[in-house]
Amino acid sequence: MKLVIGNKNYSSWSMRPWLAMQHFAIPFEEVQLWIFTESWPQDIAAYGSNTVPVLVTEQGNVVDSLAILESLAEDYPQMWPADKRLRAKAREACARMHSGFFAMRSEMPMNCRANKRKLTISDVCKADIAAIEKLWAECQNLSQSDDYLFGDFSIADAFFAPVVMRFAGYDVPLNDSTQAYMQRVLANSAVQAWVKSGQAESHVIEEDEAGTH
């Protein structure tokens, strides 16, 4: 399989399947495209898409991070929690991330090079942050875990790793259990490998540069 991804520094949706595939040792070849360069539209069109990530398989291409992870989980069921109730909650968490938290997503772009940047955020963005903190606490309470969201690393952690990067990138108030979960995710070796590569990239996407040092 090939996983087509964008800039590691900025591409939050690419980060999700890449992390999960690394963490679960699923063999794949990485193809990296540079978003918003002159050749980007043709580069991504070659994979039948206009967004990254794309998973190239023998059965065809799968576009969209959630579709990619759900497809992989058919062959690697350990990517979801084993318990049915926890699996349902993990799916809820991923679906809510996929279809929500728009203010946080637009006001706090993922930028692996950012570190506690000063940023003025809207009340809607603050409400998104509070909703995410509540959701993470619900997941950890349900699974009785103070480790990953559902005990062992799962697709849900891969889905929220870019949010952890956002929370680390901007100086926003966060509660203690959120900060503990962030430390857990930031210590994950796949996360560290992604971040290191992202920070080493030289491309700058101005519209994703928010906050001040």
Kindly list the residues in this chain that would bind ligand GSH in the complex (CB under 6 A): 6, 11-14, 35, 50-53, 64-66
Nearer to ligand GSH, 1 or 137 (CB): 1
Nearer to ligand GSH, 22 or 111 (CB): 111
Whole-number Å distance between alpha carbons of 100 and 125: 11
DSSP category for residue 210: -
CB of residue 34 vs ligand GSH: minimum separation in angstroms? 11
CB of residue 65 vs ligand GSH: minimum separation in angstroms? 3
Tally of CB atoms within 10 A around 180: 12
CB of residue 61 vs ligand GSH: minimum separation in angstroms? 12
Whole-number Å distance between alpha carbons of 103 and 108: 8
Partners of 31 in beta bridges: 4
Nearer to ligand GSH, 64 or 171 (CB): 64
Nearer to ligand GSH, 13 or 153 (CB): 13
Whole-number Å distance between alpha carbons of 8 and 35: 10
DSSP category for residue 50: S
CB of residue 176 vs ligand GSH: minimum separation in angstroms? 30
